[in-house]
Amino acid sequence: MNSHSSRYKCTECGKCLNSNQGLTVHKRIHSGEKPFECTVCSRRFTKSCHLVTHSRIHSGEKPYKCHTCDRAFSRSEHLTNHVRVHTGDKPYNCSQCNKSFTKSGNLHSHTRRVHMNSRPYDCRYCRKMFKSSHDLKHHVRTHTSAKPYSCRHCSDRFTWHRQLKTHLLKSHNEGTWFTCDVCQKKFSESAFLKVHIRRHGGVKPYVCSECPKRFCSAAELIAHQPKHSDFKQFCCFVCGKDFKRRYCVKKHFKKCSVN
């Protein structure tokens, strides 16, 4: 193996490849060469296999089928992630709170949202900062009143997807309720049920890094964290006074706007 590695070594970065063909493909990373072009949208790729996968966007082909349900996928890795829904396998573990995830992307998002203090995304309407572009996108709807989720049975529209799911369950009997085995309380999403079950068992996996306090959900930990910071991310549009919490600025605004 060592003799082969030395024969097929990239002179740009030192990476060793198992074959001359592999080295040729690898060098395209440095040269920017993309010889494989999509005939539909003209997008180009360094590998033919990447073009084949991309082409399924245009053809709608989904060759990777789940043996448990009827879902199919255009990429094998998407099927692998989906199968974990049936098996319950969660191979990606958070090193700080031991929470597990089915996808590596979900773990990265969790680590950034819950355990990191970096907030590089700021709202153009107010001064609030966010840890991800996804969080910022959702926050902006509170300013614009956008309702991108529409019911296919009636004219109702919703700001959040979870609101649409709850509406479909309550108003149109579409979907599946998640029921607590202890108290029979029903939830529109499995994540809400999981947090609820923790309350029955007193399980609090989310620990504050600044104090010994523990919480049942990431949202509760995030809501608690401003206690340990002087950062005031909410601003009154009338007088410019800053506040740590949303409900505080809302309460203040009602009084401030009247005066």
What are the boundaries of each domain within the chain? 2-59
Output the pTM of the full model: 0.44
3-class SS at 107? helix
| Per-residue pLDDT at 146 exceeds 70 | yes
CB 38 within 8 A of CB 27: no
Q: Which of 131, 110, 104, 95 lies closest to 217, judged by CA?
A: 110
Q: What is the pLDDT of residues 80-127, one digit of tens each?
A: 888 887 888 888 888 888 788 888 877 877 777 677 666 778 888 777
Q: Which helix (H) or strand (E) segment is 179 a member of?
A: strand 178-179
DSSP 115: I
Q: What is the pLDDT of residue 237?
A: 67
Q: What is the pLDDT of residue 143?
A: 81
What is the pLDDT averaged over residues 162-185?
Answer: 90
Tell me the one-letter amino acid at 169: L
Continuous H helices in the chain: 2-7, 20-31, 48-59, 76-87, 104-110, 133-144, 161-172, 190-201, 218-224, 246-258
- Measured distance CA(109)–CA(125) in Å, rounded: 24
- Measured distance CA(134)–CA(112) in Å, rounded: 12
Radius of gyration of the chain (CA): 25
Q: Which residues, other chains included, contact 47 with Cβ-Cβ below 8 Å and sequence gap of 6+?
A: 25, 36
List the CATH code of the domain at 2-59: 3.30.160.60
Q: How confident is the model at residue 30 (pLDDT cuts 50, 70, 90)?
A: confident
- Measured distance CA(225)–CA(215) in Å, rounded: 11
